[in-house]
Amino acid sequence: MTINRQRRQSAASAPGATPEAIIRINDAGHLGAEGPASLAGVVERGDARGRELGFPTANISVPHADIPDGVWAGTVQVEPATHGNTYLAAVSIGRRPTYYRKGLRLLEAHLLDFNANLYGLTVLVTLHVHVRAQRRFRDTEELVTQIRDDVNYVRSWAAEYQQ
């Protein structure tokens, strides 16, 4: 699924969704009344665990300390300079506490309905709705169950967003 237009969206109205918070961030990456926030970066190599979990991610570093950790309903545009396609994404920002005590802070975007290698390409990630905090899960199975719910949330949010 691709999305080519942007408009403001209230998470509270997304069907079946119970987001933890609705956070608006302006274009400079600061929390504020204006939203949503966009961050561009070159996709880096992850440790490939995402693919094993069934949820491969495009990873970029997060320079804005004031963007809160957590999981977001987002969109990702590939190569924005040449107006590449935009995809829905479940975006995780944080230190992956399930696997690391003090992991590197990363933005990881799982693009929905997309299966190609993005290493070295520039992506523009837009964070629309803060869905939940990053958590430490007991095991991989619990994390995968939660990510599946996150992806379902993003789809229901998008169904509303595209109307």
Ligand X SMILES: Cc1cc2nc3c(=O)[nH]c(=O)nc-3n(C[C@H](O)[C@H](O)[C@H](O)COP(=O)(O)O)c2cc1C
Contacts with ligand X by CB under 6 A lie at 46-50, 53, 55, 57, 59, 71, 90, 92, 96-99, 108, 110, 134-135, 143, 147, 150
Q: How far is the CB of 117 from ligand X (least distance, A)?
A: 13
Minimum CB separation of residue 66 from ligand X in Å reads: 20
Nearer to ligand X, 28 or 121 (CB): 121
Taking the C-alpha atoms of residue 11 and residue 23, their distance in angstroms, rounded to an integer, is 10
- Least Cβ distance, residue 36 to ligand X (angstroms): 17
Q: Is 112 exposed, middle or buried (0-12, 13-18, 19+ CB in 10 A)?
A: middle
Which residues are within 8 A (CB) of 9 and not within 5 positions of it... i.e. 6 or more apart?
128, 129, 157, 160, 161
Residue closer to ligand X, measured from CB, 26 or 146: 146
Place of tokens 């400079």: 28
Three-state DSSP state, 112: coil
Of the pair 118, 124, the CB lying nearest ligand X is at 118
Nearest approach, Cβ of 136 to ligand X (angstroms)? 6
d(CA 57, CA 112): 10
